[in-house]
Structure 1
Amino acid sequence: MSPNEHHDPHAQIHHGAGPHQQGQYQQGGNQLSSGQPVFCPECGAPVNLRGTAVSAVCEYCDSTVVRSGVDLKLIGKVSALIDNGSPILLHSKGKFDNLPFVVDGRLQVQYERGTWNEWFLNFADGTIGWLADAQNQYSILKPIDPNQVAGRVPSFHDFHPGQPFRIAGRTVVVVDRRGAGYKGAEGLLPFQAVPGMQFFGVDLRGYAEEFVTLDWGNDPNHDQPVPFVGRAVSLAEIGLFPLRRFEGWPPAQPPRA
């Protein structure tokens, strides 16, 4: 089923491996100067750590480099990414609700039934979001103020499939509660992506393409999840370009100006 067809809200698509693993709501924040040179502490290669990004994967040695104030540190090497046939590429550009964005990073997430991709988006207005990419279905979600769900949702362990909720003006039902781990990463990410880290979240879905993810980060035993809200999209709808080319497929065309 394509992302633009009507979805059963009980069908599963995983998304929202959120940019708040340290329990922080981020809609921008402290940014590095675009002219400030940054180099990998492991191999000395330049690292394009900019904007609100907290960590980056070195393109030369696969080390994860983390910014801590004005200092850089290494937190390990990422595992090789699984080629799961995604057509999305780093540095591709598109628009969501008429707001331009660039794809700055990818997190590949693994759970008991396989893997999916979370692409980190930086928007032109300084906000961030995630493009979920699973089995040729796509959705874009952006973080909202955690106060919108504080004290209004149960603890992580008390969510069950089929429960209805009203979150940020959306009527949604629980489709999944899960823990998952980071398989690998590339590019920039807005949190410390420690290889092998586990995270916990609840996915909810509405009848009109709405998606909500409640993200507990790497600790399910607290009562302050960060909510992400968004909707299903198609790659054509958001004008994502360029895209990866596959043998036998027609080349993607740039969106009209």
Structure 2
Amino acid sequence: MERERQVSCPQCGAPAPFRGTAVSLVCEHCGSTVVRAGLDVRLLGKVSAVVDDGSPLLLGGKGSFAGRGFEIVGRLQLRYARGAWSEWYLQFADGVGWLADFQGNFAVTTPAPAGGELPGFYNMSIGTWHNVHGVEAMIVDRRAARYQGAEGVLPFVAEPGLNFYGLDLAGPDDQFISLDYGVDPFHTRPAVYLGRAVELAELGLDRLRRFEGWRD
């Protein structure tokens, strides 16, 4: 894992350990969002606390995916018309990724190299098939969501109230693709994340929330 850079929260003075390419951090002591710009840090303000959605995942949990170890270092919670879900930010030894957590379903994705143009967000419909980085996949979810809360570190500044536009596609063999249009639904070069749906047990996480009635 990449080394943390030790800085202090401008609000309360507590340690604010940035790591890797993280741009923002939610102070675990006062809940303020600290933003890193080069060697400087600034205070953005307080973000909403994440809502307890019963997820078994925890910050600091370590596991592996496709033979690569990772640590869960951040969480972004989003809400849209049909509910809410969480995106857990993963730090690998050689890069980053995301663990999507929605209604008991999980998928791990990592950034793909820049590719060709794709239709804009409003020109993509659920049930249609598209070729993304050589994978034929069908759009299974299309949403405009709002950032609801955050914790840990993130690779961008998640300001409450901003709309985030994204698509999820499913392919053969549990392949999973996310297209991230960010806050602009009209551009045609969304960030692409490739991965697959996973069972939580196969990630080998060393710490999970325990619920009454769960079996190991």
1:44 and 2:44 matched:
no
1:70 and 2:35 matched:
no
1:156 and 2:156 matched:
no
2:204 equivalent in structure 1: 239
Aligned pairs for 1:175-190 (under 5 A) are: 175-190=140-155
Checking the alignment, whether the CA contact within 8 Å between 1:76 and 1:195 is kept in structure 2 is no
**Amino acid paired to 2:45:** G
Give 1:203 deviation, angstroms.
1.4
Q: Residues of 2 paired with 1:170 and 1:219: CA distance?
A: 24
The CA RMSD over aligned residues, in Å, is: 1.4
Q: Residues of 2 paired with 1:50 and 1:176: CA distance?
A: 32
1:112 equivalent in structure 2: 81
The structure with more strand, counted as a fraction of residues: 2
1:159-212 C-alpha deviation (Å, 9 max, x unpaired): 111211121221101122211011101001011111222111121111321111
1:92 and 2:57 matched:
no
TM-score with structure 1 length normalisation?
Answer: 0.80
2:100 equivalent in structure 1: 132
Q: Residues of 2 paired with 1:138 and 1:37: CA distance?
A: 32
Q: Residues of 2 paired with 1:177 and 1:248: CA distance?
A: 34
* Structure 1 residues not aligned, in runs of 5+: 1-30, 253-257
1:111-132 C-alpha deviation (Å, 9 max, x unpaired): 111111110000012x110000
1:141 equivalent in structure 2: 109
1:58 and 2:23 matched:
no
Which of 150, 157, 173 is the equivalent residue of 1:192? 157
* Structure 2 residues not aligned, in runs of 5+: none
1:131-179 C-alpha deviation (Å, 9 max, x unpaired): 0011111000111112x2x22x212111111211121221101122211
2:194 equivalent in structure 1: 229
Runs of 4+ in structure 1 over 4 Å off:
none
Checking the alignment, whether the CA contact within 8 Å between 1:76 and 1:194 is kept in structure 2 is no
**Amino acid paired to 2:30:** C
Q: Residues of 1 paired with 2:166 and 2:207: CA distance?
A: 31
Q: Residues of 2 paired with 1:175 and 1:133: CA distance?
A: 15
**Amino acid paired to 1:40:** C
